[in-house]
């Protein structure tokens, strides 16, 4: 059976480096930074690592209901979601992920948009 994206790129050790680079970018984004100011970054990075691992076919999982529950009170709009997806794509490029793998991961993120975005407008 084909290896998952998660396995091909070095498992949790590598994924946690990707996630941490991604959060450096997010915290420097004027659009996204305000959301992360009062959050325990260590905890968030831990959770995001599991989620990203899941997107790549690794062992951890988050249900759509959980994603909806944690983001519902955050009032995230389309533009903020798009910025997050774009910064994540840039991060994967920085880590030399193949274009086809980036596309696969991105489409996994996009299918979850409705669980994250709760505010209309841009």
**Site residues for ligand HEM per CB under 6 A:** 32, 35-36, 39, 44, 47-48, 51, 62, 67, 70-71, 74, 76, 80-81, 84-85, 109, 112, 116
Instruction: Find the angle CA(17)-CA(22)-CA(28) to the nearest 5 degrees.
Output: 135
Q: DSSP string spanning 36-95?
A: HTTS-HHHHHHHHHHHHHHHTT-S----HHHHHHHHGGG-EEHHHHHHHHHHHHHHHHHT
To ligand HEM, the closest distance from the beta carbon of 31 in angstroms equals: 7
Tokens 């959060």 correspond to 23
Smallest gap from Cβ 49 to ligand HEM, in A, equals: 9
- Closer to ligand HEM by CB, 1 or 80: give it: 80
9 versus 76: smaller Cβ distance to ligand HEM = 76
Supply the minimum distance, in Å, between the C-beta of residue 64 and ligand HEM.
10
Q: 43 or 100, CB closer to ligand HEM? A: 43
Do the beta carbons of residue 31 and residue 79 sit within 8 Å? yes
- Give the H/E segment covering residue 119: strand 117-119
Kindly tell me which of 2 and 37 has the beta carbon lying closer to ligand HEM. 37
The nearest distance, CB 98 to ligand HEM, in angstroms, is 20
């Amino acid at each position: 059976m084909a290896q998952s994206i998660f396995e091909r790129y070095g498992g949790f050790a590598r994924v946690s480096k990707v996630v941490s680079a991604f959060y450096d970018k997010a915290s420097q984004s004027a659009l996204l930074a305000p959301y992360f100011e009062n959050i325990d970054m260590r905890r968030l990075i831990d959770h995001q690592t599991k989620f990203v691992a899941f997107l790549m076919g690794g062992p951890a999982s988050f249900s759509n209901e959980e994603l909806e529950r944690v983001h519902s009170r955050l009032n995230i709009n389309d533009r903020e979601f798009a910025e997050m997806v774009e910064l994540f794509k840039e991060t994967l490029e920085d880590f030399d992920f193949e274009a086809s793998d980036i596309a696969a991961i991105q489409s996994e993120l996009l299918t979850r948009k409705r669980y994250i975005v709760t505010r209309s407008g841009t």
